[in-house]
Amino acid sequence: MPQHPVDVHVGNRVRLRRTLLGISQEKLGRELGLTFQQIQKYEKGANRVGASRLFQISQILDVPPSFFFDDMPNQLKPALSGLADDPEPFEHQHLSKRETLELVRAYYKIPDEDIRKRIFDLVKAVGGQDLELG
């Protein structure tokens, strides 16, 4: 049975978040009671992640379950015209850069939440962005 594109997307998002947090496949597998090979299959989209397992993964990786469906290519989304605004396109290539991973890890190592927020606001201002945190 061929891989479903949504399963591949969800797997990529699992790998992205796991990597950003510096968690190995082995560690995630241990937390879930699985082998690292099973995590690999999830991340490649070879095996579909069930709803309860996806919820467990979201808890371990500290993101809402919806995170795994964020930035899904438009061709994978059903035609729901008029229900939501199209988000601005996101440049996925930035997420795989070492610089991005190191920046995110360093950011989350800042223990004071207020200081993190101020740094975030500074970076947005310097980058000319006017985004709100959700």
Which stretches of the chain score pLDDT less than 70? 1, 75-96, 129-134
How confident is the model over 96-115, as pLDDT tens digits? Answer: 677 877 888 888 888 888 99
Q: CATH for 5-76?
A: 1.10.260.40
Domain with CATH 1.10.260.40 in the chain: 5-76
Region class of 128: left (phi > 0), else alpha (psi between -120 and 50), else beta? left
pTM of the predicted protein model: 0.61
Region class of 85: left (phi > 0), else alpha (psi between -120 and 50), else beta? beta
| Predicted pLDDT of residue 82 | 47
Run of H or E residues at 125: helix 113-127
| Predicted pLDDT of residue 92 | 56
